Structure 1
Amino acid sequence: MTNFIPIFPLSIVVFPEERLNLHIFEPRYKQLIQESATSKKPFGIPVVMDDKLQEWGSLVYVEEIATVYENGEMDIKTRGGDLFRILEVIKEIPEKLYSGAIVNYPENDRKGNPRVMQLLVQQMRALHNYLQVKKDFKKQENLLTAYDIAHHSGLTIYEEYEFLQLTRERQRQEYLKRHFEKTLPVFEQMNQLKQRIQMNGHFKNLSGFDIK
């Protein structure tokens, strides 16, 4: 199925069901948000990387216009929807300040492996411990998906964009699994190095070596 949607290109990757707060200040996007909120229809956030509009993005729904300032700028709360892929960009739309695109919606399989997901959550928590950060997902861990933890797993925007194009949950789980297998040993080595440095200058309780 193809469809026309207004687009708000940004240098971020938005995942389905992700909650995202945005500050809107450009006139074209103030118009877009007002229309989207009134019609209760989504707009699209395609990814911008290296000053280039990419093909993939996510629909976004305006959940709430939290604040409207005197100059018309807005703080809004949004929720990510379906994935889309741009077929054609429509730069100028009659009587609109913003652009749009003709898109299709790839099928997106959400069925993953619960055991793998449990492992991924443990690996993410281990990473957070090394970084001394804490993340509250406000949902039970057994309900988390690969999308839920992807932004909190240390991926670059290029990796997040690769991840966005994976349309099966098991593919996404495998991507994160490989990422953690590559990343966690680096932090473990850094942690061991930190401990060795901290031990320098301390009195050490070591057993002598028996020469035989």
Structure 2
Amino acid sequence: MTNFVPIFPLSIVVFPGEQLNLHIFEPRYKQLVNECFEERKRFGIPTVITDKVSEFGTTVMVKDIVKVYDSGEMDITAEGDSVFRMLELVKDIPDKLYSGAIVNYQENQFDGNRQLMQALVRSIRELHDLLKVQKKFTKEDLHLVTYDIAHHVGFSLEEEYEFLQLPREIQRQEYIKRHLGKVLPLLAEMEALKDKIKLNGHFKQLPGFNF
């Protein structure tokens, strides 16, 4: 299925179902947001990486215009919807300040493994404990899918973009599993190293070696 959508390129990856808060200040995007909100239509956020608009992105729906400033700038809430791939960039649209794109939509399969998902959630909580950060998921554990946890694992922008392109839930689960398999041992080693450094100069109570 192909479609035309207005686009708002940003240096972020938005996942389906994600709740997004944005401050809108450029005239072209103030026009885009106002039109999309009034007409209840979606716009696309393709990811910008190294100053280049990438092929893949996510459509979002404006849920609310929270605040409009005297300057016309606004704070909005939006929600991620569908992953798309840009087929053609339409830079100039008559009577519009913003650009658009012809896109098709990725067929998404939620064929995940529930046991693997539970293991991933446990590993993410272990990661957060090691980092001493507190993050809460927006759903109960049993209802979580990979899109709900992907921003919680420490992906780089490039990794999030690779992740966005995966069409199957089981692929996304395996991608997160591989990532955690790399970072958790490194963090555990760093924590052990920190503990050793803290002990330096302290009185040590150690048992003698029995010959």
Query: What TM-score, normalized by structure 2, do the two folds share?
Result: 0.98
Runs of 4 or more above 2 Å deviation: none
In structure 1, what is the Cα distance between the partners aligned to 2:106 and 2:196? 50
In structure 2, what is the Cα distance between the partners aligned to 1:90 and 1:46? 13
Does structure 1 retain, via aligned residues, the 8 Å contact 2:138–2:148? no
In structure 1, what is the Cα distance between the partners aligned to 2:49 and 2:65? 27
Does structure 1 retain, via aligned residues, the 8 Å contact 2:20–2:79? yes
Aligned residues: 211
Aligned to 1:116: 116
Identity of aligned residues (%): 59
| Partner SS for 2:89 | strand
| Partner SS for 2:152 | coil
* Cα-to-partner distance string for 1:59-111 (whole Å, 9 max, x where unaligned): 00001100000010000000000000000000000000000000000100022
* Cα-to-partner distance string for 1:21-48 (whole Å, 9 max, x where unaligned): 0000000000000000001110000000
* Cα-to-partner distance string for 1:137-170 (whole Å, 9 max, x where unaligned): 2320111111111111000000000000000000
In structure 1, what is the Cα distance between the partners aligned to 2:47 and 2:201? 50
In angstroms, what is the RMSD of aligned CA positions?
0.7
In structure 2, what is the Cα distance between the partners aligned to 1:61 and 1:182? 35
Aligned to 1:194: 194
Aligned to 1:7: 7
Aligned to 2:126: 126
Aligned to 2:93: 93
In structure 2, what is the Cα distance between the partners aligned to 1:92 and 1:177? 42
| Partner SS for 2:117 | helix
| Partner SS for 2:101 | strand
In structure 2, what is the Cα distance between the partners aligned to 1:123 and 1:91? 43
Letter in 2 for 1:86: M
Aligned to 1:168: 168
In structure 2, what is the Cα distance between the partners aligned to 1:44 and 1:11? 13
Aligned to 1:153: 153
* Cα-to-partner distance string for 1:164-202 (whole Å, 9 max, x where unaligned): 000000000000000000010000000000111111122
In structure 1, what is the Cα distance between the partners aligned to 2:4 and 2:158? 26
Q: How far 1:203 sits from its partner (Å)?
A: 1.9
Aligned to 1:35: 35
Aligned to 2:52: 52
Aligned to 1:84: 84
Does structure 1 retain, via aligned residues, the 8 Å contact 2:60–2:81? yes
In structure 2, what is the Cα distance between the partners aligned to 1:44 and 1:187? 36
Query: What TM-score, normalized by structure 1, do the two folds share?
Result: 0.98
Unaligned runs of at least 5 residues, structure 1: none
